């Protein structure tokens, strides 16, 4: 029996607008033994930390109404009892400019999207001691271009039914947004939203090329890049993923 004193657990607040990403973070936090509550935007996060006490906030950077950067700045201006809560950013953009914005907002660290189990729990435990000692964390490994170790690891963590549901949901999303569509059907903001919604799903399920190219498409939409070229590359990866998902569902 450990001599370590028990901690009074208050839980983790997760600010994330996409339900699929909420589901993923919930699974990961359960593995780590953490309790979690969820809100869908930065404004809700600012309100929530004032009404309840939490150990830490996981803050998605890109959210509607109020993004994670603005929410973190707002929290740091609150009363002393609230403003020092640890905040970890979750972001698909880990370029130096974005990291500087995260630091300037007063956040205490960040994890990259698609989020890895051991990256997330390691970063949280740096700021909040874990409620239980894990037997092991999933060891990092190389990403394959299409079906990687991630699918096996996600299945081991979440179970067959969850993996099947995620694969089916990704397939439906790809058919609806990329597989048979042309980029001029959407405006840039809509196209960026579609790409953003696929990044985490694709990365966790092992479609690392699709995740990377959707992230690049989102960046092109936001910053005036070559959307036509970025869409074409993402579309090819989406079609490859579509062709692979049928057999993966059987293997799950």
Which residue has tokens 């042309």? 182
Contact between residue 102 and residue 69 where contact means Cβ atoms under 8 Å apart = yes
Which residue has tokens 């299945």? 155
- Confidence (pLDDT) at 135: 47
Sheet containing strand 87-91, edge to edge, reads: 36-39, 12-15, 56-60, 87-91, 109-112
Contacts of 166 (CB under 8 A, 6+ apart): 20, 154, 201, 204, 205
The rounded distance, in Å, linking the Cα atoms of 198 and 184 is: 19
| 3-state DSSP helix/strand/coil % of the chain, to nearest 5 | 60, 10, 35
- Confidence (pLDDT) at 236: 94
The rounded distance, in Å, linking the Cα atoms of 56 and 128 is: 7
Question: For residue range 115-137, what is the model confidence (pLDDT) as tens digits?
Answer: 888 899 999 999 998 775 554 44
Question: For residue range 159-189, what is the model confidence (pLDDT) as tens digits?
Answer: 889 889 999 999 999 999 898 888 765 688 8
Q: What is the pTM of this model?
A: 0.77
What residues form DSSP beta bridges with 89?
59, 110
- Confidence (pLDDT) at 184: 63
- Confidence (pLDDT) at 156: 85
* Length of the chain, in residues: 252
The dihedral region occupied by 170, where left means phi > 0, alpha psi between -120 and 50, and beta the remainder, is alpha
Question: For residue range 32-90, what is the model confidence (pLDDT) as tens digits?
Answer: 889 999 999 999 999 999 999 999 999 999 999 999 999 999 999 999 889 999 999 99
Give the number of other CB atoms < 10 A from CB of residue 107: 25
Residue 2, exposed/middle/buried by CB under 10 A (0-12, 13-18, 19+)? Answer: exposed
Contact between residue 217 and residue 197 where contact means Cβ atoms under 8 Å apart = no
> For the residues of 172-229, what is the DSSP string, one character each?
HHHIIIIIT--GGGS-HHHHHHHHHHHHHHHHHTT-HHHHHHHHHHHHHHHHT--HHH
Mean pLDDT of 148-155: 72
| 218's tokens | 């989102």
Most distant CA atoms of the chain, gap in Å: 63
Question: For residue range 4-19, what is the model confidence (pLDDT) as tens digits?
Answer: 333 446 899 999 999 9
Task: Tell me which H or E stretch contains 249.
Answer: helix 227-251
pLDDT confidence bin for 149, thresholds 50/70/90: low
H helices present in 57-141, as ranges: 68-75, 80-83, 96-104, 117-127
């Amino acid at each position: 029996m450990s001599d370590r004193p028990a901690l009074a657990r208050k839980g983790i607040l997760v600010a994330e607008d996409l339900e699929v990403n909420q589901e993923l973070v919930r699974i990961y936090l359960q593995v780590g033994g953490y309790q979690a509550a969820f809100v869908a935007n930065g404004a809700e996060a600012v309100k929530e930390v004032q009404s309840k006490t939490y150990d830490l906030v996981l803050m998605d950077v890109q959210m509607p109404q109020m993004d994670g950067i603005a929410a973190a700045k707002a929290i740091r201006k609150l009363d002393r009892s609230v403003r020092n809560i640890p905040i970890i950013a979750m972001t698909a953009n880990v370029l130096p400019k974005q990291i500087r914005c995260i630091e300037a907002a007063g956040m205490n660290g960040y994890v990259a999207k698609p989020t890895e189990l051991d990256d997330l729990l390691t970063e949280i435990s740096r700021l909040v001691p874990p409620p239980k000692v894990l037997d092991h964390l999933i060891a990092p490994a190389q990403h394959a271009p299409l079906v990687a170790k991630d699918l096996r690891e996600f299945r081991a963590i979440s179970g067959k039914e969850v993996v099947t549901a995620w694969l089916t949901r990704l397939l439906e999303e790809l058919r609806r947004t990329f597989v048979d569509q042309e980029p001029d059907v959407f405006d840039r903001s809509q196209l960026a939203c579609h790409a953003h919604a696929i990044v985490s799903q694709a990365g966790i399920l092992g479609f690392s090329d699709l995740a990377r190219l959707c992230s690049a498409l989102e960046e092109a939409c936001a910053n005036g890049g070559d959307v036509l070229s970025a869409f074409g590359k993402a579309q090819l990866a989406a079609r490859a993923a579509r062709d692979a998902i049928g057999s993966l569902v059987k293997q799950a």
